[in-house]
Amino acid sequence: MEQEIRKKRFNRSMLILVVTAAAVITIFFRFAYIQSAKEVQGEDLQELLESRWSQERELPGTRGSILDRSGEVLAEEIPSYTITAVLDDRFDSYVEEPAETAAALASVLEADQGFLEEQLSRDSVQVELGPAAKNMSYELMTEIEEMDLDGILFREDPRRYYPNQEFASHVIGYTERDMSEARMGLEESMDEHLSDSPGSIQYKQDGRGRQLAGMDEMIEEPVNGDDLVLTLDGKIQMVMEQTMNQIVEEYEPERITAVTAHAKTGEILGIANRPSFNPNEYENIENFTNYAVTSRIEPGSTMKMFTLAGAVEEGVYDGEDTFESGSIEVYDRRIRDHNNGEGWGEITFNEGVQRSSNVAFTNIAQDLLKPEGVYHYIDQFGFRNPTGIDLPHEVDGGSIAEAYPIDAVTTAFGQATAVTPMQMVQAATAIANDGQMMQPYTISGILDSTTGEAIDEREPTPAGQPISAETAETVRDILTSTVEEEPGTGQPFAIDGFEVAGKTGTAQIVGDDGRYMTGHGNNLYSFLGMAPAEDPEVIVYVAVDRPDLEDHESGGQPVAEIFRQVMEQSLQYMNINPDPDGDDSVIVDHHTIPSFTGEDSVEAADALREAGVEVISAGSGGQVERQSHAAGETVAEGEKVILYTGGEIDIPDFTGWSRRSVQQFAETVEREVTFDGSGYVTNQDPAPGAEEEEALLEITLQEPGEEETDEDEDEAEEEQDGNEGENSENAEGTG
């Protein structure tokens, strides 16, 4: 019995020995295999060791900025902050009182207190607090940080920021806040240049994940995105945006588009649309369309300037020749002038241009330039092709009507054919620039954002020579008469101290039923002008679609208000100032306004007058309390600067002041002001000299020559009579 027990023990021991020996041999051969093959379970041994003891971390780059022509930032990457709340009591700092913490945060985040309390009461280690607690500014983060709330921490993330809000938004476009995707405008089309490439850092760590001191690091530096420098002028763009906002508030149009260009170079100085959007809040965008380049419109009578240029270039136009105005039969259509087809008797062609006579341009198209000539200059002025501007989604040129014999006539005065506002601006550069047409562009250069060195510098590009310098000068003279002289339709667009050359337009709009819309205000009103007329530097195009007009108001009023303010400021910022005698003289002397706050009002006024600035002193005090122009702002000679000295105010005589100047006065002296009409001041209440401390200023404005019939308005309304909505069936023309 005992022998059997010993035998069993021996067998068990031998079994254990054999199993142990087998395991040792297996492990030995496994180690031998690993040592020779250098892999474990198909994975490289060295890589496994490196992954355990090495760590790699991404080094983010920075997306390039977008700048205006003076270097002001229009789009940039900035840090943003997101609240994370620690709820676990194992941490030193955690949210102990959810209700109190929620109440404190709700007061500054403008978030629902109940939602915040619910989040802060969850059974979780850490939570975020919804959209209101994300993408916060540094200022808001600092305000919350100073509240010293237990358990409230901040995570820093990069985000895209547009400091000027609704500012050339259709040009700039936007990205997702985290810059994961570029969505629109130059942000999208130039994404390859603006995007950054992340780098990395590799280092050794111990078993607890701590970086080992003294070990070499491998660093691959990130590559930052390039900066874009635009041709846009921030000051001109801001005036355009502000004036458009005023027009939207007053007239509630369906849409507006405006373009300002440098006549000599084709540089776009300003471009804006309404409706617009704030790219910082892109979730609520209603209009994604940049009307200036992606939308065709019937140009109306603005097209007449190019028909005129073609006739002058061909030598077939004599402005002193006469024709019988009123109406004319072409094929089976009757084309009428805008005063019920009555016309003005036998008048010269120059007067026909001034009055925007469709009969005049019918004669030019049919008998002088002839249809083939009309289409030749449509080609020469680039209306069949896109301009090639460096903005995305430009449409494929104009839609030129030429299916019916009458189309050449209607095209000559701006009906049936449709083109883009940018094509109009490009064509106008030929008239402004002595016959040489310039391609419009918005990007002046691309910079290395790290070194500031130029990667790409863009130069003005000629786009053709449709007319001679002599023709351009002649056309400018005739177009100047439409603005500066009776009976020109462009008189509301005149600017004190400058001669403006330009042409109004009133185009019809096709409604949902496919027919032209009828009724007061249901038109697209426009103006294409340049100044100074003798040697233009600035071109401004403005189009306002279906403004809400009173019966006594003309469609040209909102257009004129935008044009005048934008043109005046553009000339000023380009150092082109009016001569005191009213001649088009270039005076390159601007004056930078210092801060006069706290200084003697008499000495401040004397200093400004010596610089050639008109000073309006308001108040009875002896020291300057406020001034209309901020320190560092530049003003032109003859421009008004208001100094408020406190106390009672003698209301000045506003007669002849522009709306902008009155608005500056009211803001400086902190008075409310209401406006009736547009243009320049003709009446005011209180009367000049009033000393009412809390006076409400009631200002009546009137356009120059407003007592005359608005030619373009009548022109379009007459065209609508009997219109059945077929472009080539009705040839009564537009203004």
Extract the tokens encoding 203.
């280092």
Give the Å distances, CA to CA, from 100 to 107, 112, 117, 287.
11, 13, 8, 42
User: Rounded distance, CA 656 to CA 641, Å?
Assistant: 16
- Ordered by where they begin, the domains of the chain are 71-161 (3.30.70.2110), 591-702 (3.30.10.20)
Residues 6+ apart with CB under 8 A from 298: 414, 415, 416, 417, 418, 507, 508, 524, 734
User: Rounded distance, CA 612 to CA 593, Å?
Assistant: 12
Give the pLDDT confidence score for residue 211 in this predicted structure.
59
Give the pLDDT confidence score for residue 217 in this predicted structure.
67
Give the pLDDT confidence score for residue 433 in this predicted structure.
96
Q: What is the pLDDT of residues 218-264, one digit of tens each?
A: 788 888 999 999 999 999 999 999 999 999 999 999 999 999 999 99
Give the Å distances, CA to CA, from 544 to 33, 297, 299, 529, 561.
82, 11, 12, 15, 11
Give the pLDDT confidence score for residue 213 in this predicted structure.
62
Give the pLDDT confidence score for residue 419 in this predicted structure.
97
The pTM assigned to this predicted structure is: 0.75
Q: Which of 685, 639, 659 is nearest to 249 (CA)?
A: 659
Q: What is the pLDDT of residues 539-594, one digit of tens each?
A: 999 999 999 998 888 889 999 999 999 999 899 888 886 654 544 433 334 567 78
Catalytic one of 80, 169, 301, 678: 301
Give the pLDDT confidence score for residue 582 in this predicted structure.
45
106: left (phi over 0), alpha (psi -120 to 50) or beta: alpha
User: Rounded distance, CA 364 to CA 331, Å?
Assistant: 16
Give the pLDDT confidence score for residue 441 in this predicted structure.
98
Q: Which of 370, 713, 354, 347 is nearest to 544 (CA)?
A: 713
* Residue 554 is among the residues annotated as catalytic for this protein: no
Give the pLDDT confidence score for residue 39 in this predicted structure.
59
Report the half-sphere exposure of 415 (CA within 13 A, side-chain side).
31
Give the pLDDT confidence score for residue 233 in this predicted structure.
95
The answer to whether 417 and 401 have CB atoms below 8 angstroms apart is yes
Give the pLDDT confidence score for residue 232 in this predicted structure.
97
Query: Which residues of the chain register pLDDT less than 70?
Result: 1-3, 5-11, 28-56, 203-217, 577-591, 632-638, 678-679, 691-695, 703-735
User: Rounded distance, CA 453 to CA 447, Å?
Assistant: 6
252: left (phi over 0), alpha (psi -120 to 50) or beta: left
